[in-house]
Structure 1
Amino acid sequence: MRRIRQRQDKDSAEFLLSDWIKRAAVLGIGMLERFANTLAAFRSGILAYYDFDRLSTGSLEGTNNKIKTLQKMAYGFRDMEFLKLKIKGLHETKYALVG
């Protein structure tokens, strides 16, 4: 997958992805075949990465996970404003949600 993502253009990435799916499908390894089928089903979404200037939502998904974790930790907080301030301050945390 890394090799596919490192391609500079959509055509070469599409060729690599199709080739990988074909080779994985004929190996006879059930889990690999299922993964190949999943990749084939999401092929257009995977290749859309090239249509939008190689945009990734990884950092946004990471922030959403931090917010969900904070909400779990904040269960029982009575002050909603404090929770809002903690969420706004999440961008300053590097690795862990502590204190």
Structure 2
Amino acid sequence: MYSMKEQLRLFWQQRNGKTAAAFLKQLISIGAMMLRHWSGLLNYYPHRITNGPLEGLNNKIKTIKRQAYGFRDMEYFKLRLYDMHASTYPFAG
């Protein structure tokens, strides 16, 4: 809510009515998107799980797929995916 309040504060800093209308249209589209995903957003609370780990895994698979461009053997690609789970990476920082 604080972020939305601050965004609405930016409305009054628009230079003219045309940019102000475009700004409000953007805010309305964000609100409409949140209404469309209402139940999905609220499903987090009873279950306390997200799809973040799954999205991370999908991103790793896509990265390996991009690196494997040109491999002719699908079995090698599968082995790379299995190896991805066996590999450990050091923490940065």
TM-score interval, normalised by the smaller of the two chains? 0.5 to 0.7
1:49 aligns with 2:48: no
Q: Which protein has greater RCO, CA pairs closer than 8 Å, 6+ apart?
A: 1
Query: How many equivalent pairs are there?
Result: 71
Q: Give, in whole Å, the separation in 2 of the partners of 1:46 and 1:74.
A: 36
Give TM-score scaled by structure 1 length: 0.58
Flag the 1:32–1:83 CA change in 2: closer, same or farther, 3 A.
Answer: same
Q: C-alpha displacement at 1:79, in angstroms?
A: 2.5
Give 1 or 2 for the bigger CA radius of gyration.
2
Alignment equivalent of 1:34, drawn from 24, 29, 46: 29
Q: Which amino acid aligns with 2:55?
A: E
| Consecutive unaligned residues in structure 1, runs of 5 or more | 1-19
Q: Which amino acid aligns with 1:80?
A: M
| Consecutive unaligned residues in structure 2, runs of 5 or more | 9-22
1:79 aligns with 2:66: no
